[in-house]
Amino acid sequence: MSDPAIRVQNLSRQYGKLFAVQDLSFEIPRGDVVGFVGANGAGKTTTMRVLATLDYPSAGTCEVLGHNVVLEPEKVRHKIGWMPDDLGNFENVTVIEFLDFYARAMGFKGKERRERIEEVMDFTELHPLADRLSDKLSKGQTQRLGLARALIHDPEILIMDEPAAGLDPKARVELKRLIRVLADDGKTVFISSHILSELG
């Protein structure tokens, strides 16, 4: 029997006396789309940051495709695409320059890099925005850029923190369509939201 895509066992993350996450356990089978629902402040982002190797557990273990996130972070990073709730602000950087930077950071070179950028721009329909400054995009366009960045290295697992927050109805429908396509392609998708209907 193969390892689940994600396995969390008795995870706790403590900051001083405050528990952001306490004794959390769950598993996500490979190829599933799973919603992670809870109120703001419930620990969803903290849990996802630990899975993305951006934070450390205070107790418990987390594994991605059988790799421990603390002991084997590099292996985990190659397997996941991380889409935070805020992409950040990159002034004077166009959409295509933004994606080219991340493709280079992922080790893509030459023709392979250009082809990979083309593929993710095709999927997220970003070609018309290629020369637009990345900090001048709408919320929906920014989310598509964040998704393209997360998919650059064709990860097996996509971890998305509040991807539908602040989107208008049209952008939300489009995001759901892209997630369905990714699921049909066999990817595991782990999505957080504080509103259950956003994930429907």
Which pLDDT tens digits describe the chain residue by residue (200 residues)?
A: 578 999 999 999 999 999 999 999 999 999 999 999 988 888 999 999 999 999 999 999 999 999 999 999 999 999 999 999 888 778 899 999 999 999 999 999 999 999 999 999 999 999 999 999 999 999 999 999 999 999 999 999 999 999 988 888 888 889 889 999 999 999 999 999 876 565 55
Strands (E) located in the chain: 6-15, 18-28, 33-37, 59-64, 67-68, 80-83, 157-161, 188-193
Q: Give residue 134's Cα distance to chain centre.
A: 18
Q: Give residue 45's Cα distance to chain centre.
A: 11
Whole-model pTM: value is: 0.92
| Token code pair at residue 164 | 């539908």
Asked whether the beta carbons of 68 and 28 are under 8 A apart, the reply is no
Residue 186: count of CB within 10 angstroms of its CB: 9
